[in-house]
């Protein structure tokens, strides 16, 4: 039997990306796509690239026949949705907002949300009923640091410089999302104060409980639509060879994280669920460059990966995607 999936907030970027993946997933049936603002309209009238893939219409009603709900809502809206709608305990939930990612917010009523980074919590995800999907910057940066944290090799400040595409800000219009502002432009924001820092630090402490990591993170808005590239560096007593072997060993059984023998760039991973990492020792500094697609490995792709793990199927199912390449 196919997994019956419902999407809440199906008209936005992550809702549309989740829909595209699920429509082509061999073991999923999309039973409804919820949107208050677009109710009654054909899904393909908003997500026009889905023309010919589905005859579904957006609805403002819930269908309790679903086995799993993807909450593709804005931050703060997922919790509000669950407060306003009684979802049967038998329906599993994968939330793509930040509402349940942190330890202190991970319990909602009788639901316990597991932090859904498969490279960190795979065994817990496989047993989970509810998932808090990680943030896009958080995913990219954590994948650059998990092997070091697991081997207790983070002993100094961690410096991160990372740039993201405009889709990371969602569909809501703002001054910095207009084409005329974003094109041929780059700008930093939320320096040392980005909201994803909290989940990054919680994961690092999970692997090294006595550590108190201090991550200095400078995020940038990029003049492109999708993708994240993060440069992560710290002082390290590891040799270049030892660091490379540590990363290769840590990720040897992960299907989507790959240690590249070349300099990585965003286009290599856009439209895929992959993370490419390059690892280099320069003097006393260890530099890791990490790149992902913010809408896939950073959001909807990872959500589908988590669904696969929750329902006991191969985690790569429906996620063997072609990169853009050019």
**Tens digit of each residue's pLDDT (9 = 90 or more) over 117-166:** 999 999 999 999 999 999 999 999 999 999 999 999 999 999 999 999 87
Q: Which two tokens stand for residue 69?
A: 């709900």
Are β-strands 158-164 and 228-235 bridged in parallel, bridged antiparallel, or unpaired? Answer: antiparallel
Phi, psi of 84 (to 5 degrees): -90, -15
Cα distances from 69 to residues 32, 33, 64, 188, 240, in angstroms, run 10, 10, 10, 34, 44
**Tens digit of each residue's pLDDT (9 = 90 or more) over 74-115:** 889 999 999 999 999 999 999 999 999 999 999 999 999 999
* Whether residue 4 has pLDDT greater than 90: yes
Chain-wide mean pLDDT for the chain?
93
**Tens digit of each residue's pLDDT (9 = 90 or more) over 261-309:** 999 999 999 999 999 999 999 999 999 999 999 999 999 999 999 999 9
pLDDT of residue 112: 97
* DSSP sequence for 99-137: TT-SGGG-EETTEEPEE--HHHHHHHHHT-SEEEPPPHH
Q: List active site positions.
A: 136
In angstroms, rounded to a whole number, what is the distance separating the alpha carbons of residues 307 and 326?
30
Q: Give long-range contacts, CB 8 A cutoff, 24+ apart: 189-196.
A: 189/219, 189/220, 189/221, 190/219, 191/217, 191/218, 191/219, 192/216, 192/217, 192/218, 194/137, 194/219, 195/98, 195/135, 196/135, 196/136, 196/137, 196/138, 196/141
What global pTM score does this model have? 0.94
């Amino acid at each position: 039997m196919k997994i019956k999936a419902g999407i809440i907030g199906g008209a936005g970027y992550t809702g549309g990306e989740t829909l595209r993946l699920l429509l082509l997933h061999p073991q999923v049936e999309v039973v409804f796509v919820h949107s208050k603002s677009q109710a009654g309209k054909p899904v393909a009238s908003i997500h026009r690239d889905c023309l010919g893939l589905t005859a579904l219409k957006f609805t403002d009603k819930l269908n309790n026949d679903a086995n799993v709900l993807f909450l593709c809502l804005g931050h703060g809206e997922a919790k509000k949705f669950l407060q306003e709608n009684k979802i049967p305990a038998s329906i599993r939930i994968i939330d793509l907002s930040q509402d349940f990612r942190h330890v202190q917010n991970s319990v909602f009523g009788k639901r316990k949300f597991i932090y859904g980074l498969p490279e960190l919590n795979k065994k817990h995800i496989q047993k989970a009923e509810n998932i808090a999907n990680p943030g896009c910057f958080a995913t990219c940066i954590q994948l650059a640091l998990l092997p070091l944290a697991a081997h207790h090799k983070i002993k100094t400040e961690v410096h991160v410089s990372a740039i993201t595409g405009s889709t990371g800000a969602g569909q809501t219009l703002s001054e910095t999302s207009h084409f005329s502002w974003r094109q041929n432009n780059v700008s930093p924001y939320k320096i040392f104060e980005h909201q994803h820092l909290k989940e990054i630090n919680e994961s690092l402490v999970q692997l090294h409980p006595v550590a108190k990591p201090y991550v200095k993170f400078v995020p940038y808005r990029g003049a492109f639509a999708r993708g994240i590239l993060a440069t992560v560096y710290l002082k390290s007593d590891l040799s270049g060879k030892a660091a490379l072997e540590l990363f290769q060993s840590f990720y040897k059984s992960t299907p989507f994280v790959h240690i590249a023998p070349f300099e990585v760039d965003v286009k290599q991973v856009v439209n895929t669920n992959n993370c490419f990492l390059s690892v280099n020792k320069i003097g006393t500094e260890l530099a890791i460059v990490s790149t992902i697609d913010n809408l896939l490995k950073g959001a909807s792709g990872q959500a589908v990966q988590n669904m696969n793990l929750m329902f006991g199927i191969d985690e790569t199912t429906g996620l063997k995607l072609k990169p853009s390449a050019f």
